[in-house]
Amino acid sequence: MEATREIIVRKEVVDENNDLVILKISELATLRNQLISFLDNIIFLSDNFSSEHKAMTVDFINMTFDLLPKGILIESQAAYKMDRFYLGDNIRNTAQIKYDNSIENYRKWGNQKHQDILEGIIDSNTEIFQDKFQDIKFLISSEENKLLLEYSV
């Protein structure tokens, strides 16, 4: 992601290296889709992790979900910098749908864990989830991430 950002910072570099920018857009799209798929899987797999590993996993999930909109912005901006506006819009729109679906799965998972606690269903990871609940809630309601995904610059 950082390599792409460095390339698209200056219009002259973009103009001189269109082929490299297209390659970077393709790489970012592939990595984004793999990462979203991985996050969807690890959310539910984490129920089987030890307390220590679950805490690290939730931190990883939160950090990754927080970074994804920034990467999507760079990916779409790379297309815009090459005057490929439909491509940039398509990247942003399709990525937003996938991100929103994935974050919704995370929200549902978190709500189910919270509901289990309220109903007195306690397991070895309950304390970890309670410690991370506010972080999860903050991430899911992040206005910054919503703005990055909804508007192009």
Query: Average pLDDT in the 75-89 region?
Result: 95
DSSP structure string for 71-117? HHHHHHHHHHHTT-HHHHHHHHHHHHHHHHHHHHHHHHHHHHHHHHH
* pLDDT tens digits for range 20-37: 999 999 999 999 999 999
Rounded CA-CA distance 65/22 in Å is 24
Rounded CA-CA distance 64/9 in Å is 23
- What pLDDT is recorded for position 152? 67
pTM for this structure? 0.90
* pLDDT tens digits for range 85-138: 999 999 999 999 999 999 999 999 999 888 888 888 877 677 788 889 999 999
